[in-house]
Each structure stands twice: as C-alpha cells, then as structure tokens.
C-alpha cells in the first residue's frame, strides 16, 4: 500500500468555501495549546472573546470600531494583491494618513465642519497614497522589491509620527505625554449611541462598495486583473503597466491612509504614539483570507475585529501580551496555506505494489 498525492480533477466550490473556516478552527485549536502552556484555560479564553466582542451592544460597537480601520487597510492591501503587488506597508500608510489629517485638523484654521472633514480626508488620502507611491515608482521603473520597501517604510512612518508627537506637535498642556492637542469639534466624526462607534465605519462600508464596483464593473479594474495575471499579455494589449503599478500602489496606500483619518477624526481626536497597534499587518491577513474580494474584506475584517476586542480583554484578565493576537493570526495563515494545498490535491491510498 502506498499513499500518494493526486491532483483533484475538479475544484470543489464547497471546499473552497470551507477551507478558510476550517483554517480558523484549526488555528484556534492549536492556539489553545499555547494558551494552556502559558497557564490560561483556552475554553474560558475563547468564551471570554465571544462574550466581550459580541455578547452586548457595547461589545458589538467596539468590534465595529476595531473593524473600521481594518476594512480600509484590508481594502487597500487587497487592491494591490489583485495586481500581484504586495503592499506590506499599510501600517505606515495608516500613520501617514493620520499625520496628514492631523496636520489639517490642527493647523489649517478651517472652521466649517464638512469642509474640515473633507480637507482632512483628502490630506490623509494623499499622504497614504504618496507614501505607498514611493514604493510604486521604485517598483514600476526599477523593479525594486516592493515588499521590502513598503515594509521598511513602516518603520520610518512610525518614527516620523513619534518625532512629531514627542517634538514639535506635542500638546503643551499634555503633561508631557506623546500626543497632540485635542481636535476641535469641527474635526470630529459623528459618534453614535453613546459608544465609540463613529461614522468612519459607514465610510468604510461605502469604500468597500466603491472598490467592488471599480474592480468588477470598470475597465480599470479589468486592466488591474489582467496585469496581475500576465504582465506581458497586458503590455501586448497596449496597457501601460508602469503607470498602472504606480497608480495601484498609490491608491492602495491612499485607502489605507483613510484608516488613519478615520482613527484620528473618529476615535482618538488627536494624533498620538502608537496610533495603530498593527492594523496594517492584520490587513494583509484579511486581504489574503478574503481572496481579494471587497465584500470578503468586510466580513473578515469584522472577524478580526472580534479577535482584537477579545484579545484586549484577555490582556486585561490574564495579562496576556497584546502581540499574542499576532501569533494567532500567523497560525491562521499557516493553516490557510496548507488548506489551499488540499483544495488542489488529495491524498490517495493505492493498494497493492506500486511501480515507479
């Protein structure tokens, strides 16, 4: 008897759908052992996550608060994925977006509410876009590896924001904490139901819808897919791949930048050290799990929101480090990659002697 791998003749849609769900399940199972090893009962911990994140109206609102930046950043990363471009720099683009929006909020002197929000939005969009656009130009003209450039620029962006909030932008009345002065009411998004939930969430949903239409119903969306699948074919068809690479990375970063706008205008009402606790990295998983679909991004971002809210409460209850959530996300990705393999291949038992 012999165990061999065989390609499946038909790809089962059922398997394709169940694979991501199964990988999250297995990741939960394995993460349970890590929790056990650090002295936490995993069943209690998982129950805590569900209850905290979904068990009450307030918990649900917190989950949506966390999901908001994740939707923006996830959409940005997944747009670049469509063209087989890796934007690993959403984290830095969020910081740059937050920085741009903050600059407008603190120093532009605009008093009109809508004009102010619009200007902040545009500033965040441009800052995030240009930040990713650097990697876009380097990639388009000199084939410089965009994974490394976008990633390294995260560190630069975070240090840049630190420079501002520890230095020139520090609130003189802030007891020396690394944060800027609070925004005026004109620079704040609407909040709902006495929770921290703000209109940024609806902006994120709207953004997902726009991106869906853009990708599925426009020529540009089609071109992005073609270039992603076969750059040579795209060039033969007369598409300008260089411009497209730059444009896609710009747009990808710009959308991630809006997350920065939404965080400072909707939630923090100021710029501060550590404005994003790794949303940009979680966004990569979201984009991969969502299989590049804009609607998928919204669903997965919500799931990740649950995990983040739950993770926060685990930190409070059992003093687990926040970064534990990363370990869990890494596990999900590992199992998802393994599951992808078994979508295409199957194990088959061959009886009798086999001839090679």
Return the number of the residue (254 or 339) whose C-beta is nearest another protein.
339
Instruction: Pick between residue 57 and residue 321 the one whose CB is nearest to another protein.
Output: 321
Q: How far is the CB of 192 from another protein (least distance, A)?
A: 32
- Phi first, then psi: give them for residue 106, nearest 5 degrees: -90, -35
Indicate the helix (H) or strand (E) that contains 120: helix 113-142
Nearer to another protein, 7 or 111 (CB): 7
* Dihedral in degrees, nearest 10, Cα atoms 42, 44, 49, 51: 160
Cβ proximity to another protein: between 183 and 324 the closer is 324
The minimum distance between CB 202 and another protein, in angstroms, equals 30
Count of helix runs (H) and strand runs (E) in the chain: 13, 2
Closer of 34 and 212 to another protein (Cβ)? 34
Among residues 139 and 270, whose Cβ is nearest to another protein?
139
Helix, strand, or coil (residue 344): helix
CA-CA distance, 32 to 38, in Å (whole number)?
A: 10
Q: Which is nearer to another protein, 306 or 320 (CB)?
A: 320
The least distance separating another protein from the CB of residue 159, rounded to whole angstroms, comes to: 5
Please, what is the minimum distance in Å from the beta carbon of residue 102 to another protein? 16
Task: Quickly list DSSP for 144-189.
Answer: --HHHHHHHHHHHHHHHHHHHHHTTT--TTSTT-SB-PPPPGGG--
* Closest to another protein by CB, 219 or 356: 356
Closest CB to another protein among residues 237, 350: 350
Q: How far is the CB of 91 from another protein (least distance, A)?
A: 12
Cβ partners under 8 Å of residue 63, min gap 6 = 53, 54, 302, 305, 306, 309
Q: Output the smallest distance, CB 218 to another protein, in A.
A: 27
Tell me if 252 sits within 8 A of 77, measured CB to CB.
yes
In whole angstroms, the minimum distance from the beta carbon of 15 to another protein comes to: 15
List of residues contacting another protein (CB under 8 A): 7, 34, 37-38, 86, 88, 138, 142-145, 147-149, 151-153, 155-156, 159-160, 162-163, 166-167, 281, 284-285, 288, 319-331, 333-334, 337-338, 340-341
Return d(Cα 97, Cα 92) in angstroms, integer.
Answer: 9
Residue whose C-alpha is closest to residue 279's, from 91, 81, 131? 91
How near is the Cβ of 183 to another protein at its closest, in Å? 23
Q: How far apart are CA 250 and CA 257, in angstroms?
A: 10
Cα atoms found within 13 Å of the Cα of residue 237, Cβ hemisphere only: 12
Pairing relationship of beta strands 2-7 and 345-350 according to DSSP bridges: antiparallel
Give CA torsion, residues 247, 251, 257, 262, to 10 deg.
160
Closest to 181 in 3D by CA, of 110, 302, 272 = 272
Query: Could you tell me the smallest distance in angstroms from the CB atom of residue 95 to another protein?
Result: 12
């Amino acid at each position: 008897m012999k165990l061999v791998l065989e390609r499946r003749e038909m790809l089962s849609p059922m398997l394709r759908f169940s694979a991501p769900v199964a990988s999250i399940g297995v990741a939960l199972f394995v993460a349970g052992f890590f929790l056990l090893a650090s002295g936490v009962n995993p069943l209690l911990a998982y129950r805590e996550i569900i209850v905290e994140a979904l068990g009450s109206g307030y918990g649900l609102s917190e989950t949506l608060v966390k999901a908001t930046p994740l939707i923006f950043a996830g959409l940005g990363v997944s747009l670049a994925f469509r063209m087989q471009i890796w934007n690993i720099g959403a984290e830095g683009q969020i910081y740059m977006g937050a920085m741009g929006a903050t600059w407008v909020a603190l120093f532009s002197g605009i008093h009109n509410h809508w004009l102010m929000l619009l200007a902040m939005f545009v500033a965040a969009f441009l800052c995030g876009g240009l930040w990713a656009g650097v990697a876009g130009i380097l990639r388009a003209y000199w084939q410089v590896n965009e994974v490394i450039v976008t990633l390294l620029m995260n560190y630069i962006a975070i240090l840049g924001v630190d420079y501002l909030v520890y230095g020139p932008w520090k609130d003189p009345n802030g007891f020396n904490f690394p944060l800027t002065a609070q925004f005026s009411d004109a620079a704040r998004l609407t909040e709902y139901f006495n929770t921290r939930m703000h209109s940024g969430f609806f902006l994120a949903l709207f953004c997902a819808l726009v991106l869906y239409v853009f990708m599925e119903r426009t020529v540009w969306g089609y071109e992005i897919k073609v270039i992603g699948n076969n750059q040579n074919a795209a060039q033969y068809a007369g598409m300008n791949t260089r411009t497209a690479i730059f444009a896609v990375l710009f747009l990808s970063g710009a959308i991630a930048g809006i997350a920065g706008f939404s965080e400072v205008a909707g939630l923090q009402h100021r710029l501060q050290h550590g404005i994003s606790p790794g949303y940009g990295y979680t966004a990569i998983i979201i984009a991969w799990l969502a299989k590049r679909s804009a609607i998928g991004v919204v669903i997965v971002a919500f799931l990740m929101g649950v995990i983040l809210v739950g993770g926060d409460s685990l930190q409070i209850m059992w003093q687990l480090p926040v970064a534990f959530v990363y370990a869990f996300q890494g596990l999900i990705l590992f199992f998802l990659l393994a599951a992808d393999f078994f979508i295409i291949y199957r194990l088959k038992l061959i009886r009798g002697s086999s001839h090679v």
